[in-house]
Structure 1
Amino acid sequence: MYNDATMEQVKILAKQLKIPTFVQYPDLLRQAGADTDFGSLLLTLMRNEYDQRQENQNRRRLKQAGLPYMKTLEELDLSRYDGKISELFIGELASCRFIREKKNIIMLGNPGRGQTHMAIGLALKACSLGMNVLFKNAASLSTELSEARDNYVLGKLEKRIRKADLLILDEMGYVSFDRYQSELLFKVIADRSERGSIIVTTNLPFSEWTTLFENTAMVDRLTFQSYILDMNGQSYRIEQAKKQTR
């Protein structure tokens, strides 16, 4: 049905044409029925190549996103929110329509309430749909912006941030910013207004954001066309620790 010389030629051409899955054609021939036509085999090869490329692209998007760990929305226990966040609403967010509509999500809650988990889960959904995501700890990003400015590469970093369909600013409020950090972070957020989505996780109510930023317009920029989720309550980590000590 095929010989070594043919196989070697297929490998060479598949590499040159960048269609590596085509070297799997012997397996398809073995699995094919006697009445399978060439067109069906070719279509299967093309579908396999397409699926592999989609998987490779998703891997690259996940790597570029810089997620600290993997947590899916399906792993999130919605019962801890006492009905304030429904499965239907999570399904709506998981569609990532909010990203296409350039809307933001602000997750307010004390530590251990799953804000980062939910943000990562949404990031995974966005990546699977072909969107570019960038996950940044808010304090780390403010430092990164300051260092980029000092090293005259701020424009390059800002361009990378702008290219993201979804920017996640995690743990906003755990560390305060100096004037320059505040201004740089505000510019990042202002530049994305109606141009790209942001997810912010924070332990601070809006009334206390003045302790972080001198520019009070930050709140207005973030809350414009935003979903605001109240996720306050008993820390999930504390609940788990209590169960383990019983």
Structure 2
Amino acid sequence: MTTLKQLRLRHFLDEWQSIEHQATQENWSYAQFLLALAQGEASRREQNRISRALSEAQLPYGKSWTNFEFDHIPSLNPAALMEFSQTTHWLESGSNILIFGPSGTGKTHVSSALGTSMIELGKRVKFLTATALVQQLQLAKLQLELQSLLSKLDRYDLLIIDDLGYVQKSDVETSVLFELIAHRYERKSLLITANQPFSQWDKIFPNSMMTVAAIDRLIHHATIFEMQAESFRKQEAAKHTAKSQKTDR
């Protein structure tokens, strides 16, 4: 038992007796017995890895493919999106995904579900709102540690930046956002959600040259998804109002 603890074979330690009983009942060979223990150990370690990675990623809770209403977004191609969710090739080539659409159409939901899929496939993911990310980058720049922070973010195969359009533009914010985009260009992937099309990104990047340069780097190796539909939240509010009015009658 001490040896199993030293080797950190937790599943072996916890389950060997029950698996031994099953092996005896079913007349397994020694090889079958050892294989069952090894498979259980591998499964437990993978579950623990996914749990740690999800905690690290800080993805919004409860947003998965199984509870996303694709029928609500006719402009979205589910097959194309699912293709990205089933492979890591796009991450390994440093490609990006850009998701555009009005507020409340499920952009955050889709980005979170895709992030979860990448974690399940063995990649490291980090989810940040654009506002929170900019605040971190600004602070790092003031402390002369921006390059250090950019290098730390390199540990993530996918960096999800949610609601880019809500960033309050200023020269400082423009600078740090552009430096992040330029730093990850053709090296590490970004998934960006925004409610503003490229034609309105001058509201995010007040310097037109920087706006063009940022967009150019993002779209060079990118797939763009459009999510044009009525807000889910608006629909839910309307249903709730209608239900309340019906109850009051």
Question: Normalised by the size of structure 2, how large is the TM-score?
Answer: 0.89
How is 1:79-228 mapped onto 2 (pairs within 5 angstroms)? 79-82=71-74, 84-96=75-87, 97-213=89-205, 214=207, 215-216=210-211, 217-228=213-224
Aligned residue type for 2:81: I
Deviation for aligned residue 1:162: 1.4
Alignment of 1:237 with 2:233, yes or no, is yes
Is this contact kept in 2: 1:142–1:182, CA < 8 A? no
Runs of 4+ aligned residues of structure 1 deviating over 6 Å after TM superposition are none
SS at match of 1:135: strand
Alignment-derived partner of residue 3 in structure 1: none
Letter in 1 for 2:16: Y
Per-residue displacement from partner, 1:30-81 (whole Å, max 9, x unpaired)? 2222521111111111111111111111112111112132311221111112
Measured in 2, the distance between the counterparts of 1:220 and 1:176 equals 21
Alpha-carbon separation, structure 2, partners of 1:48 and 1:158: 38
Task: Provide the residue aligned with 2:11 in structure 1.
Answer: 21
Partner SS state of residue 239, structure 1: helix
Q: Distance in 2 between matches of 1:205 and 1:138?
A: 16
Equivalent residue pairs, number: 235
Q: Percent identity?
A: 31
Give the one of 18, 24, 30 matched to 2:21: 30
Q: What is the CA distance between 1:172 and its match in structure 2?
A: 0.3
Residue 241 of structure 1 aligns to a residue whose secondary structure is: helix
- CA contact 1:20–1:49 (8 Å) conserved in 2: yes
Q: CA deviation at 1:175?
A: 2.5
1:37-52 to 2 correspondences below 5 Å: 37-52=29-44
Residue deviations 1:173-214, cap 9 Å, x none? 113232122111111111111111111111111111111112
RMSD: 1.4
Residue range with higher mean Cα deviation, 193-202 or 99-108: 99-108
Q: Tell me, in whole angstroms, the C-alpha distance in 2 between the residues paired with 1:153 and 1:77.
A: 42
Distance in 2 between residues matched to 1:239 and 1:28, nearest whole Å: 52
User: Hey, what's the Cα distance between the residues in 2 that align with 1:212 and 1:34?
Assistant: 66
Matching residue of 1:6: none
Q: C-alpha distance in 2, partners of 1:223/1:86?
A: 19
Unaligned stretches of 5+ residues in structure 2: 243-249
Instruction: Supply the distance in 2 between the matched residues of 1:238 and 1:88 (Cα, whole angstroms).
Output: 27
Normalising by structure 1, we get a TM-score of 0.90
Question: Residue 246 of structure 2 corresponds to which residue in structure 1?
Answer: none
Mean Cα deviation higher: 227-236 or 112-121: 227-236
Give the counterpart of 1:65 among 36, 49, 57: 57
Distance in 2 of aligned mates of 1:174 and 1:149? 21
Preserved CA contact (<8 Å) 2:150 2:183: no
Query: Quick one: distance in 2 between partners of 1:46 and 1:228?
Result: 42
